[in-house]
Amino acid sequence: MLDEAPTAFDALTWRNRFAALPAAFGTRLAPTPLSAPYLVAASAPSAALLGLDTAQLAGAASIAALAGSRVPRGAQPMAAVYSGHQFGIWAGQLGDGRAHLLGGVETAEGLIELQLKGAGKTPYSRMGDGRAVLRSSIREYLCSEAMHGLGIPTTRALSIAGSDQPVIRESVETAAVVLRMAPSFVRFGSFEHWTANNRFDELKILADYVIDAFYPAARDAKNPYQALLAAVTERTARLMAQWQAVGFCHGVMNTDNMSILGLTLDYGPFGFLDGFDANHICNHTDQQGRYSYARQPAVGRWNCYCLAEALMPLIDDVEGAEGALEPFKSVFSEAMDATVHAKLGLVDRLPADQALIDGMYALLQEARADFTLFFRRLADLDVESARPGQAVRDLFLERERFDAWAVDYRSRLAREAESAEARRVAMRAVNPRYVLRNHLAEEAIVRARQQDYAEIERLAQVLRTPYVDQPEFDHYADLPPTWASELEVSCSS
């Protein structure tokens, strides 16, 4: 292979710190080449993070690397082992069944690990084929970009490499590989794995690795492992508030999909709320609604308890662990309260606001009003008069129900010191105009299946600045078409 043209990644400074952990943490193995790969998408901002531009990714050698058909010089590919709770039930050993960690690359934002998703079987593939389909790869790529654009912690996506190689799901689809990036792909389940197997030496090695690399302040605490749990709990609580604030539903909040860094991780059957329904279930496979929109914060907390249990052999202090978990509720409530006030354009927080907020959710639920457009249009509400024809009001079939709530909202706004214009600007900065609605991803997927990849990048570009009005892309902010309600996303990916 050495006589081949270099890939764009060969010149990067690699430091494979996860691969430097003991051999038990995974299995070293190269990805399985994808036949005749081509570039489907490449993200300019993600490339820039690595000090690359997308033109460098478009050469044959680099595409081969993005597809798992070439291993960049300096990379040390491996699949990591982990376990986890799936849908509340202990699932035992899982692991990177279709992910290959290539290694870490030095960037301006610190060491970033590069991982290929869908590049073939590993010892952890169980019944799976180690592959991902184009459809789910486009969804992961777009949502990584969208969440980052929204300012929500997330793994990033650099590229999608496609191939005509068939992959069998409910029907025959084609294979694709996403290159994703994060400071770490360690999950809650990475810790659960060692505790469940009574491997406390490895548990400690992993915890020390995570503390030293990502939570250095915990090292100085009296009980560093308790401090680690406290810090992860806090980040997770904040992440839940950020998801709720934009109507993001993850779909599969199993402990193996929970990032130890509080990142949104593993995009599968996710969805953004269209019409508001607190009980919305985005994952068609989740028949009980365990991971419904309204339950996400409670599940996030439950998952932190699983992490606590995994860390117990190190923390060795039940009260200490409880103390580390305890703030979840208050951190989440505080973050949620702050964010809902900001979404409503309220700078002050008054005791009576809760009734206004409860009334708003009840109104949205009853009317199934569009969650994203409601807040975006609310910024333009005429504070002085309740004249008809206002855009936010038009989201409600029973306009008088909105009018009744708006009376309270208007009188509450009257107590704010800020000017109407300042409020409008502030509200637009926190209420996105564009989110990755299922039907938008679906349109990009349908076109990609016809070899038209331009829509992926166009949509990604809009989603990168979701708080900015982009008049030429107005249709991306439209209400979903009626066919959108027929779309089903499931764990099959």
Give catalytic residue positions.
256
Comparison of 104 and 130: residue with beta carbon closer to ligand AMP: 130
Comparison of 101 and 381: residue with beta carbon closer to ligand AMP: 101
Comparison of 9 and 248: residue with beta carbon closer to ligand AMP: 248
Q: What is the spatial distance between Cα 343 and Cα 246, in angstroms, rounded to a whole number?
A: 10
What, of Mg ion, ligand AMP, none, does residue 129 touch, CB below 5 to 8 Å by kind? Answer: ligand AMP
Q: What is the spatial distance between Cα 324 and Cα 330, in angstroms, rounded to a whole number?
A: 12
What, of Mg ion, ligand AMP, none, does residue 285 touch, CB below 5 to 8 Å by kind? Answer: none
The b-or-e profile of 311-336 (16+ CB within 10 A means b, else e) is bbbbbeeeebbeebbeebeebbeebb
- Report how many residues bind Mg ion under the rule CB under 5 A: 2
Stretch that binds Mg ion, among 3-11, 252-260, 379-387, 485-493 (CB under 5 A): 252-260
Composition of the chain by helix, strand, coil, percent to 5: 45, 15, 40
Question: What is the end-to-end Cα distance of the chain in Å, rounded?
Answer: 32
Q: Show the 3-state SS of 1-34.
A: CCCCCCCCCCCCCECCCCCCCCHHHEEECCCCCC
Comparison of 187 and 437: residue with beta carbon closer to Mg ion: 187
Residue 257 lies near Mg ion (rule: CB under 5 A): yes
Name the residues that contact ligand AMP, by CB under 6 A.
Answer: 94-98, 124-125, 128-131, 252, 256-257, 266, 268, 491
For residue 61 the two structure tokens come to: 């050698």
Stretch that binds Mg ion, among 66-74, 150-158, 259-267, 359-367 (CB under 5 A): 259-267
Is 125 exposed, middle or buried (CB count within 10 Å of its CB: 0-12, 13-18, 19+)?
Answer: middle
Q: What is the spatial distance between Cα 93 and Cα 200, in angstroms, rounded to a whole number?
A: 16
Comparison of 132 and 237: residue with beta carbon closer to ligand AMP: 132
Q: Among all chains, which residue has been given the structure tokens 């810090």?
A: 231
Region at 68 (left for phi over 0; alpha for psi -120 to 50; beta for the rest) = left
Query: What is the closest distance, in whole angstroms, from the C-beta atom of residue 448 to ligand AMP in the complex?
Result: 19
For residue 380 the two structure tokens come to: 């333009």
φ and ψ of 336, to 5 deg: -65, -45
Q: What is the spatial distance between Cα 207 and Cα 194, in angstroms, rounded to a whole number?
A: 11
Q: What is the spatial distance between Cα 387 and Cα 392, in angstroms, rounded to a whole number?
A: 12
Is-contact 30 119, C-beta < 8 A?
Answer: no
Comparison of 274 and 286: residue with beta carbon closer to ligand AMP: 286
What, of ligand AMP, Mg ion, none, does residue 403 touch, CB below 5 to 8 Å by kind? Answer: none
Query: What is the closest distance, in whole angstroms, from the C-beta atom of residue 186 to ligand AMP in the complex?
Result: 14
Q: What is the spatial distance between Cα 57 and Cα 475, in angstroms, rounded to a whole number?
A: 30
For residue 252 the two structure tokens come to: 């599969």
Instruction: List, in sequence order, the alpha helices (H) in 197-295.
Output: 200-214, 216-219, 224-246
Query: What is the closest distance, in whole angstroms, from the C-beta atom of residue 196 to Mg ion in the complex?
Result: 17
φ and ψ of 457, to 5 deg: -70, -35
From 98, 100, 99, 164, select the one nearest 127 (Cα to Cα).
98
Query: What is the closest distance, in whole angstroms, from the C-beta atom of residue 39 to Mg ion in the complex?
Result: 25
Comparison of 94 and 181: residue with beta carbon closer to ligand AMP: 94
In DSSP terms, 79 is beta-bridged to 27
Which member of 266, 274, 370, 457 binds Mg ion (CB under 5 A)?
Answer: 266
For residue 154 the two structure tokens come to: 């997330």
Is 146 exposed, middle or buried (CB count within 10 Å of its CB: 0-12, 13-18, 19+)?
Answer: buried
What, of ligand AMP, Mg ion, none, does residue 94 touch, CB below 5 to 8 Å by kind? Answer: ligand AMP
Comparison of 124 and 225: residue with beta carbon closer to ligand AMP: 124
β-strands 99-107, 110-117: how paired? antiparallel
Comparison of 144 and 257: residue with beta carbon closer to Mg ion: 257
Q: What is the spatial distance between Cα 160 and Cα 169, in angstroms, rounded to a whole number?
A: 19
Return the residue nearest Mg ion (CB atom): 266
Residues that bind Mg ion (CB under 5 A): 257, 266
